[in-house]
């Protein structure tokens, strides 16, 4: 007598294949995430020995002694943005970084929505004297479709820098993409630039943020916005007050 085939045999087999496919996809995704965190695009340490990171509250509170042990030389901490935002972790990270013997910079994210006077007041009120020993950073980005003209940006940025320098008597560091830094090339023309680009910029005496998220060699199990100083150590030390 011919044996009967169980009516649900194919159903079970197809279901098993489907779950096997899903599990394989999840495993591949986990491996990709692991590779992403472990990858190390750091430029040649012999050419660019001075390594640093740019931090904000999304990075959490940091172990700065561990970063220093990983050959990180400097950190830039986000302090303020526009005329009302203050980074939640700024005070904690600043206090802890100050005890690590790292060079410290603080930066403000410039806004197109409010006046430079209001932004300078916010920076002074929230940061106080915690400005570290590196030039005060001003981060610029075209965060909306309608870009301000180069003339408008130059005028408002110059006003902000003037107010900050009147208060702190400290050089500034202009930070952002090559495109926006080109638009303000006449502003504080002797000040260093922090170039956020996956392509190595030309020139020396500037900072190159080579990644928006990657491991520090031998560092914590986290992805960082990492940068190198494009110049000699003596030039870097002259920037630190």
Render pLDDT for 67-105 as a digit per residue (tens, 0 to 9).
Answer: 999 999 999 999 999 999 999 999 999 999 999 999 999
More confident residue, 85 or 35: 85
Q: Which among 237, 180, 224, 231 is positioned nearest to 202, based on CA atoms?
A: 231
Note the pLDDT of residue 162.
Answer: 98
**With contact defined as beta carbons under 8 Å apart, do 136 and 105 qualify?**
yes
Which structural domain range is residue 199 located in?
A: 39-239
Q: What is the CATH number of the domain that holds 129?
A: 3.20.20.80
> Residue 180: inside a domain, yes or no?
yes
pLDDT on residue 227: 98
Residue 69: count other Cβ atoms within 10 Å of its Cβ. 13
Question: Does residue 121 lie in a domain region?
Answer: yes
3-class SS of residue 72: strand
Domain membership of residue 152 (yes or no) is: yes
Q: What's the mean per-residue pLDDT of the chain?
A: 89
Count of domains in the chain?
A: 1
Instruction: Give yes or no for residue 53 having a pLDDT over 80.
Output: yes
Mean pLDDT of all residues in 30-59:
79
Give φ, ψ of 154 to 5 degrees.
-60, -45
Query: Which phi and psi angles does 90 have, rounded to 5°?
Result: -60, -55
């Amino acid at each position: 007598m011919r044996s009967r085939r169980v009516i649900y045999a194919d159903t079970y087999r197809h279901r098993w294949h489907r779950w096997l496919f899903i599990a394989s996809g999840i495993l591949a995704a986990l491996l990709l995430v692991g590779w992403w965190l472990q990858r190390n695009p750091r430029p040649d340490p012999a050419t660019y020995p001075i390594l640093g990171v740019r931090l904000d509250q999304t990075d959490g509170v940091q172990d700065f002694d561990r970063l220093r042990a990983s050959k990180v030389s400097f950190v830039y901490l986000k302090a303020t943005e526009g005329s009302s935002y203050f980074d939640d972790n700024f005070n904690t990270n600043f206090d802890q970084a100050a005890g690590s013997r790292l060079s410290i910079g603080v930066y403000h994210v410039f806004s197109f929505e409010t006046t430079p006077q209001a932004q300078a007041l916010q920076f002074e009120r929230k940061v106080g004297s915690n400005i570290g020993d590196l030039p005060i950073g001003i981060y610029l980005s075209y965060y909306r479709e309608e870009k301000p003209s180069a003339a408008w940006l130059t005028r408002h940025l110059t006003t902000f820098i003037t107010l900050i320098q009147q208060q702190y008597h400290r050089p500034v560091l202009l930070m952002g993409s090559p495109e926006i830094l080109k638009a303000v090339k006449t502003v504080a023309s002797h000040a260093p630039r922090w170039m956020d680009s996956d392509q190595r910029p030309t020139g020396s005496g500037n900072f190159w943020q080579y990644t928006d998220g990657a491991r520090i060699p031998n560092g914590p199990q986290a992805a960082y916005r990492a940068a190198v100083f494009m110049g000699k150590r003596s030039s870097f030390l002259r920037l630190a007050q």
